[in-house]
Chain A
Amino acid sequence: MQIDRRETSALVLSRWPHLLAANAAVCALYFAAARFGLSLAFETRQVTAIWPPTGIALASLLLLGLRVWPGIYLGGFAINALVGDSTLAAAGIAIGNTLGPVLAALALTRVLHFDRRLQRLRDVLALIVAGAMLTALVTATNGVLQLTLGGVVTWSSFGSVWSVWWMGDAMGVLVVAPLILSVVLPAIMPSRAQPSAGAFELACLLCVLVLTSIPALNGVSAGPSPFQLQYAVFPWVIWSALRFRMRETSLCIAIINGLAVWGATRDRGPFASGNLDHRLLLLEMFMAVIAVTGLILTATMSERTAALRALQNANDDLEQRVSERTAELAATNRVLERKNEEVEAFVYVVSHDLRAPLVNLQGFSAELSRSSRELEQALSAVPLPAATRQHIHTILHEDIAKSLSFIGASATKFKRLIDALLLLSRTGKQELHLEPVEMRDVVQATIDTLHNSIDRARVEVHVDPLPRALADMTAVGQIFSNLISNALKYLDPGRPGRLGVGGEAHDGVAHYWVSDNGSGIPPSSLPRLFQVFQRFHPELASGEGMGLAIVKRVVERHGGKIWVESAEGIGSTFHFTLTADTRERNA
Chain B
Amino acid sequence: MRNMPRLTILIVDDDDGHTELVRRNLLRAGIDNQIVALSTGKLALDYVFGRGAYADRALHGELLILLDINMPGLDGVEVLRQIKAHPTARRIPVIMLTTTDNPREINRCYELGCSVYITKPVDPAAFVEAVRRLGLFISVVSVPSQIEDKP
Interface on A for B, CB 8 Å cutoff?
Answer: 352-353, 355-360, 362-364, 367, 415, 422, 426
A-B contact count (CB 8 A): 38
- B46 CB, min distance to chain A CBs, angstroms: 24
Can you name the residue of chain A whose Cβ is closest to the Cβ of B120? Answer: A359
Kindly state the separation between the CA atoms of A415 and B120 in the bound complex, as whole angstroms.
11
Q: Which of B13-21, B30-38, B79-87, B107-115 contacts A (4 or more CB under 8 A)?
A: B13-21
| Docked pose: A509 CA to B104 CA in angstroms | 33
A364 to B102 Cα, complex, angstroms = 25
Instruction: Please report the C-alpha to C-alpha distance between residue A356 and residue B64 in the assembled complex, in whole angstroms.
Output: 22
Q: When chains A and B are docked, how far (Å) is the Cα of A356 from the Cα of B122?
A: 12
Report if B39 contacts A (CB, 8 A): no
Whether the Cβ atoms of B102 and A426 lie closer than 8 Å is yes
In the complex where A362-B121, A363-B121 touch, is A356 in contact with B18 (Cβ < 8 A)? yes
Structural contact, A360 and B99, CB atoms closer than 8 A: no
A415 touches B15 (CB 8 A): no
A–B pairs, 9, beta carbons within 8 Å = A352-B70, A353-B70, A356-B120, A358-B121, A359-B17, A359-B99, A359-B121, A362-B121, A367-B21
Asked whether any CB of chain A lies closer than 8 Å to the CB of B24, the reply is: yes
Please report which residues of chain B, range 81-139, place their CB below 8 angstroms from some CB of chain A when the two chains form the complex: 99-102, 120-122
Is the interface on chain B under 10, 10 to 19, 20 to 34, or 35 or more residues?
10 to 19
Cβ-defined contact, A367 with B24, below 8 A:
yes
Complex contact A356–B24 (CB within 8 A): no
A-B contact sample (9 more), CB < 8 A, given A356-B99, A359-B121:
A352-B99, A352-B100, A356-B120, A363-B17, A363-B122, A364-B17, A364-B21, A415-B121, A422-B101
Which B residues fall within an 8 A CB radius of A? 15, 17-18, 21, 24, 70, 99-102, 120-122
Name the A residues within 8 Å of B70 (CB-CB): 352-353, 356
Residue pair A356, B21 in contact (C-beta under 8 Å):
no
Nearest B residue (CB) for A419: B101
Alpha-carbon distance between A422 and B102 when the two chains are bound, in angstroms: 9
Most buried by B among A356, A364, A367: A356
- B residues in contact with A415, CB < 8 Å: 121
A356 to B21, CA, bound (A): 12
Contact across chains for A360 and B100 when beta carbons are under 8 A apart: no
**Quick one: which of B17, B24, B120 contacts A355, CB cutoff 8 A?**
B120
CB-CB under 8 A from B122, the residues of chain A are 359, 363
Q: Which residues of A contact B100 (CB under 8 A)?
A: 352
Q: When A and B form their complex, which 10 residue pairs have the shortest distance between CB atoms, in order from nearest?
A: A360-B17, A355-B99, A363-B21, A359-B120, A359-B121, A362-B121, A356-B15, A356-B99, A352-B99, A359-B18
Query: Given A360, A362, A426, which contacts B15 in the complex, CB threshold below 8 Å?
Result: A360
Most B Cβ at <10 Å: residue of A360, A363, A367, A415: A363
Q: Give the residue name and chain of the B residue nearest to A367 (CB).
A: B24
